Amino acid sequence: MQKHAPPRSCGNMHIPPNVGGNCESHLQTTKINIMNPVITILFILVIIPNATAQEVDISNFTMEKSSFSANIMGSSSLGGITFDKIITDKVIWEIGIGYVGIGTGVTYYPFNIQKSKVCPYTGLKFSLLVLPEVAMASWAYIPLGVTFFSKQRINIGFDVGPALGKMEDVSRPEENWESSLLRDSKIRIFGNLKVGFRL
């Protein structure tokens, strides 16, 4: 006589996880969208200064190492000030704060940073702009420009370059967030005009 296998108890049964529940509200999604670029910029601000701890001999480099600059656009969003720090004779790190934004960036001078000369540079700059209850934007761009470092400690720089960013409309009520979300991820042209004084 054929024996039937005993029925399995509930303890042996596998209960699949609940993947249908929605654990996040639209408000939480909004906060995550806002925090992502902020976390990225803060991460860069921590990593770049720590990189200066590496052994780099600039003892014979006569340029003043630090400067403050007034900016139009660039890493200080639409306008503001930046603190610039010479890392090596080819690299400058900057952090900027503006009227409605913050940012950071690194510029690379392939032919060295030199006084009384027009020095070409490239690099990578990031910026975050927040207009409360209106819009939030974040972008990164690759600057292609020149800086003149005068003997009187004045720096004058200008650059333009391709930028990739995103803009979100936060002026709509929460319930209309998905339908009102305005995303802009096209490649555009961005730039920076900077006048600074070396310390």
Confidence of residue 172 (pLDDT cuts 50, 70, 90): low
Residue closest to 107 by CA, chosen among 128, 85, 127? 85
Residue 101 tokens, joined: 């934004």
Task: Find tokens 């054929």 and name the residue.
Answer: 2
User: What H or E segment, with its residue span, contains residue 35?
Assistant: helix 26-51
CA distance 28 to 185: 22
In a domain, 2, yes or no: no
In a domain, 124, yes or no: yes
Q: For residue 104, give every residue at least 6 positions away whose Cβ sits within 8 Å of its Cβ, in sequence order, or none.
A: 41, 44, 45, 48, 75, 93, 94, 95, 96, 125, 126
Residue 91 tokens, joined: 């690299």
In a domain, 43, yes or no: yes
pLDDT in tens, 92-116: 999 999 988 999 999 999 999 999 9
Mean pLDDT of 7-29: 47
In a domain, 42, yes or no: yes
Task: Find tokens 């039937």 and name the residue.
Answer: 4
In a domain, 58, yes or no: no
Residue 81 domain boundaries = 27-50+64-198
In a domain, 86, yes or no: yes
The CATH number covering residue 177 comes to 2.40.160
Chain-centre distance for alpha carbon 182: 20
In a domain, 12, yes or no: no
Confidence of residue 174 (pLDDT cuts 50, 70, 90): low
Chain-centre distance for alpha carbon 154: 26
- State the sign of the Cα–Cα–Cα–Cα dihedral 166, 170, 171, 175: positive
Number of domains the chain is built from? 1
In a domain, 45, yes or no: yes
Confidence of residue 38 (pLDDT cuts 50, 70, 90): low
